């Protein structure tokens, strides 16, 4: 007999499970794009949105196995765990006073480690559920209290705030531990609606008490709630609930954040973020900027600014269109000076020192004067926009001399791809050669699966670590290329992770196709590796077919999309560069005797003004 109440409960739970990710992504999008300056000031601007949604989806096959336990392997997912943890740690920058983020993060991580290690010791030593839960609760309460007490005794306000953050994290950890269970051969589970309660409670508590303990700013409830929920669920579920999973009946691969964007480690931070945002709207003034807490989102390119100015004129805002056109031309001048590594030009002479014809300087002055005066004449506004268009075009040859060409970038990437793939081929072959059971045994092997996922994670890590640490990779360095942000500095961590996540689908195709081909070549054997309608296909032929198919359809198609993006954008950017605000530039070599100039592929003259153009 069907229980109507239970059926309704299950229906609501299933519907919410399906709808919840979309609702949380919509909330993150709303904050990042509709409250831009405020969102960026608390670390949840557009780059964070790209990292937590499209980038996290793109690295779905990137899992890194790092701890063997009995017959099993414990790993961690990039999208489901590493990216949320990185965002949570970056939250310390707005949460604490400038310059103290590293100290605050270190104190917090030591406190969290003490809670997690002590709780794990209790779980291992006290198998009984109730005494174990009481022991975990006692440790989770003692550590934050100790940190807060030390801060109070020293009159150290930041340390007291870290103690409070640890207390919020410990509350999520204990509730998560109580509501979760470990199922061997399956993983860690948490039922509806219990999994909603800890992060939502953390978000609401952060929103209510933020003005009193987070530098007096309500908006800091967003990073505090995200941080506490992410680490609380990581500790209460993925750390304290791991031991009952081992040893399982057969070897298994258990991955922290293994469900990707549907995993509790990933979703709990967003749940707390959404609850805090709702709480700010209900109890306070909403999301307001925190002065000086973070850098701005990537600025639009001069060409994009020019397009926006045209859109304003099309909408009837002729004065705004003229002002936007002037700003686009000035932005092109500043960018050209930056790419030539000239000193910042004065505001009233943006083209100073930039090697352009004299008409550019005079036309910029006329355009700026017209923009300051304003206009209600659409024709005057359009003439001003045309002037800005030619001024921006005057800078494009300088852009082309500094930005890396598509062909050079492709060769550099292929060099790097070969560098990271060659060791993986050796590993795949070794595992295949020493795994019993033929091809089926290799394909079902935990070690072989982990090696495929691990290749994607390690290849991604190679690109990200190199670009973050030194601004280039081995392949790029060989071709004289560097990755830079729009200030020509090495890009920040969030930007590096975003730009490289968009090459993860290509790396995933290489991993699956390459490992499959290697397995066929090593253990396929004979002429009958596969039979189709009685016709035997050799292992070598099948491996070649997989590689050619993956190369043409997967790698080739994705590579073509990136190649066309580089060709068609004014700053030679692929999609990852566009959303992360990064450039790939040629290494700068100043010309001897030239004041700050550089010869990047020879001298290129700026376009002459067309006949009859009025400035």
Task: Tell me the per-residue pLDDT of 456-490, one tens digit each, with 9 for 90 and over.
Answer: 999 999 999 999 999 999 999 999 999 999 889 99
Q: So what's the pLDDT on residue 602?
A: 38
Q: Is the per-residue pLDDT at 348 higher than 50?
A: yes
| pLDDT for the residue 591 | 56
Instruction: Give yes or no for residue 598 having a pLDDT over 70.
Output: no
Asked if 254 and 242 count as a contact pair (C-beta separation under 8 A), the reply is yes
3-state class of 601 per DSSP?
coil
Has residue 288 got a pLDDT over 50? yes
Contacts of 179 (CB under 8 A, 6+ apart): 190, 191, 194, 195, 197, 198
pLDDT digits (tens, 9 = 90+) for 102-112: 999 999 999 99
Residue 615 or 476, more confident: 476
Q: How confident is the model at residue 286 (pLDDT cuts 50, 70, 90)?
A: low
Q: Whole-angstrom Cα distance, residue 480 to residue 66? A: 34
**So what's the pLDDT on residue 306?**
94
Predicted local confidence at residue 604, as pLDDT: 39
Instruction: Give counts: helices (H), strands (E), the chain.
Output: 25, 9
Q: Which residues of 498-518 are buried (b: 16+ CB within 10 A; e: fewer)?
A: bbbbbbbbbbbbbbbbbbbbb
Exposure string for 275-287, b = 16+ CB within 10 A, e = fewer? bbbebbeeebeeb
Dist. CA 90–CA 577, nearest whole Å: 21
Map out the domains of the chain as residue ranges. 4-283, 302-402, 406-526+541-586
Phi first, then psi: give them for residue 605, nearest 5 degrees.
Answer: -85, 150
**Alpha carbon distance 185, 200 (integer Å):** 30
Question: What does the pLDDT average to over 182-204?
Answer: 90
Contacts of 469 (CB under 8 A, 6+ apart): none
437: Cβ contacts below 8 Å, ≥ 6 apart: 444
Tell me whether residue 305 is exposed, middle or buried, using C-beta atoms within 10 angstroms of its C-beta: 0 to 12, 13 to 18, 19 or more: buried
Query: Is 60 exceeded by the pLDDT of residue 71?
Result: yes
Q: What mean pLDDT do residues 158-163 have? A: 90
- Average pLDDT on 342-350 reads 90
The predicted model gives 12-20 an average pLDDT of 81
pLDDT of 614 reads: 35
Residue 494 contacts residue 297 (beta carbons within 8 Å): no
Range in 108-112, 206-210, 528-532, 571-575 with the lowest mean pLDDT: 528-532
SS3 341: coil
More confident call, 145 vs 208: 145
Q: How confident is the model at residue 94 (pLDDT cuts 50, 70, 90)?
A: confident
Confidence class for position 538, pLDDT limits 50, 70, 90: low
Q: Which residues lie closer than 8 Å to 153 by C-beta, 6 or more apart?
A: none
Of the candidate ranges 23-27, 149-153, 268-272, 595-599, the one whose mean pLDDT is the lowest: 595-599
User: Does residue 549 have a cis bond before it (omega within 30 degrees)?
Assistant: no
Q: To the nearest whole number, what is the mean pLDDT of the chain?
A: 87
- The pLDDT assigned to 153 comes to 94
What does the CA dihedral 387, 388, 390, 394 come to, rounded to 10 degrees?
Answer: 140
User: What confidence tier does 59 reach under pLDDT thresholds 50, 70, 90?
Assistant: very high
If pLDDT is split at 50, 70 and 90, which confidence band does 5 have?
A: confident
Band (216; pLDDT cuts 50, 70, 90): low
Statement: residue 549 has pLDDT above 80: no
In three-state secondary structure terms, 178 is helix
Q: Is 588 exposed, middle or buried (0-12, 13-18, 19+ CB in 10 A)?
A: middle
Decide if 429 contacts 447 (C-beta within 8 A): no
* Residues forming a β-bridge with 67: 74
pLDDT at 127: 84
Backbone angles phi, psi at 45, to 5 degrees: -80, -160
Length of the chain equals 615
- Least confident among 271-285, 295-309, 349-363, 493-507: 295-309
Q: Check pLDDT > 50 for residue 528.
A: no
Per-position b or e across 196-224, b if 16+ CB within 10 A of its CB: bebbbbbbbbbbbebbebbbebbbbbbbb
Alpha-carbon distance 46 to 148, whole Å?
A: 34
**Which has the minimum average pLDDT: 122-136, 186-200, 285-299, 428-442?**
285-299
Residue 281: pLDDT over 90: no
Q: What is the pLDDT of residue 533?
A: 43
- Has residue 123 got a pLDDT over 90? yes
The DSSP result for 218-240, as a single string, is GGGHHHHHHHHHHHHHIIIIIIT
Alpha-carbon distance 362 to 327, whole Å? 15
* CA distance linking residue 304 with residue 326, whole number of Å: 13
Query: Residue 347 pLDDT > 90, yes or no?
Result: no
User: By three-state DSSP, how is residue 407 classified?
Assistant: helix
The answer to whether the beta carbons of residues 188 and 262 sit under 8 Å apart is no
At 17 the pLDDT is: 79
Of 184-188, 241-245, 407-411, least confident by mean pLDDT is 184-188
pLDDT value, residue 297: 58
Residues 6 or more apart from 520 whose CB is under 8 A from it? 439, 529, 539, 540, 542, 543, 546
Q: Please state which CATH class domain 302-402 belongs to.
A: mainly alpha
- Please write down the HEC assignment for all residues of 524-553: HCCCCCEEECCEEECHHHHHHHHHHHHHHH
* H or E element at residue 7: helix 4-29
Radius of gyration of the CA atoms of the chain, in A: 28
């Amino acid at each position: 007999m069907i229980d109507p109440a239970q059926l309704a409960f299950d229906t609501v739970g299933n519907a919410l499970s399906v709808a919840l990710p979309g609702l949380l992504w919509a909330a993150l999008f709303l904050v990042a794009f509709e409250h831009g300056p405020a969102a960026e000031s608390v670390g949840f601007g557009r780059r964070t949105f790209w990292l937590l949604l499209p980038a996290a989806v793109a690295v779905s096959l990137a899992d890194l196995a790092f701890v063997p336990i009995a017959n099993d392997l414990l790993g961690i997912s990039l999208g489901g765990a590493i990216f949320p943890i990185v965002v949570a740690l970056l939250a310390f920058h707005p949460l604490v006073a400038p310059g103290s983020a590293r100290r605050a993060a270190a104190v917090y991580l030591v406190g969290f480690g003490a809670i997690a290690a002590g709780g794990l010791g209790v779980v291992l030593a006290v198998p009984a559920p109730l005494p174990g839960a009481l022991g975990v609760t006692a440790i989770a309460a003692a550590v934050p209290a100790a940190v807060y007490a030390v801060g109070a005794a020293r009159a150290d306000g930041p340390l007291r705030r870290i103690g409070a953050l640890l207390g919020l994290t410990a509350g999520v950890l204990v509730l998560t531990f109580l509501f979760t269970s470990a199922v061997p051969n399956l993983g860690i589970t948490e039922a509806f609606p219990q999994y909603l309660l800890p992060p939502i409670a953390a978000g609401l508590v952060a929103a209510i008490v933020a003005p009193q303990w987070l530098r007096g700013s309500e908006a800091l409830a967003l990073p505090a709630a995200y941080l506490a929920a992410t680490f609380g669920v990581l500790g209460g579920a993925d750390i304290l609930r791991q031991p009952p999973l081992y040893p399982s009946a057969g070897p298994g691969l258990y991955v922290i954040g293994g469900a990707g964007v549907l995993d509790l480690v990933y979703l709990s931070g967003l749940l707390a973020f959404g609850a805090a945002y709702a709480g700010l709207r209900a109890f306070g003034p909403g999301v307001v900027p925190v002065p000086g807490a973070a850098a701005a989102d990537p600025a639009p390119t001069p060409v994009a600014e020019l397009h926006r100015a045209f859109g304003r004129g099309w909408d009837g805002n002729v004065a705004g269109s003229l002002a936007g056109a002037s700003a686009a031309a000035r932005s092109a001048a500043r960018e050209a000076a930056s790419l030539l590594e000239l000193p910042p030009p004065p505001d009233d002479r943006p083209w100073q020192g930039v090697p352009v014809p004299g008409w550019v300087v005079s036309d910029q002055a006329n355009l700026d004067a017209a923009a300051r005066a304003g206009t209600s004449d659409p024709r005057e506004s359009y003439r001003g926009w045309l002037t800005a268009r030619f001024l921006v075009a005057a800078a494009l040859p300088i852009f082309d001399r500094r930005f890396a060409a598509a062909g050079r970038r492709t060769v550099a990437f292929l060099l790097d791809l070969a560098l990271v793939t060659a060791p993986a081929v050796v590993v795949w072959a070794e595992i295949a050669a020493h795994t019993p059971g033929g091809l089926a045994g290799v394909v079902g092997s935990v070690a072989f699966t982990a090696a495929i996922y691990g290749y994607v994670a390690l290849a991604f890590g190679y690109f990200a670590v190199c670009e973050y640490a030194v601004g280039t990779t081995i392949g790029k360095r060989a071709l004289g290329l560097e990755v830079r942000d729009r200030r020509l500095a090495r890009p920040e961590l969030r930007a590096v992770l975003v730009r490289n996540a968009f090459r993860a689908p290509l790396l995933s195709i290489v991993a699956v196709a390459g490992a499959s081909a290697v397995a066929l070549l090593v253990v396929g054997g004979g002429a009958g590796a596969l039979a189709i309608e009685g016709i035997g296909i050799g292992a070598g032929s099948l491996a070649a077919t997989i590689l050619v198919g993956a190369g043409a359809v997967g790698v080739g198609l994705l590579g073509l999309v990136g190649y066309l993006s580089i060709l068609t954008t004014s700053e030679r950017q692929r999609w990852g560069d566009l959303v992360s605000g990064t450039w790939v530039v040629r290494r700068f070599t100043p010309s001897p005797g030239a004041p700050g100039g550089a010869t990047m592929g020879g001298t290129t003259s700026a376009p002459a003004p067309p006949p009859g153009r009025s400035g």
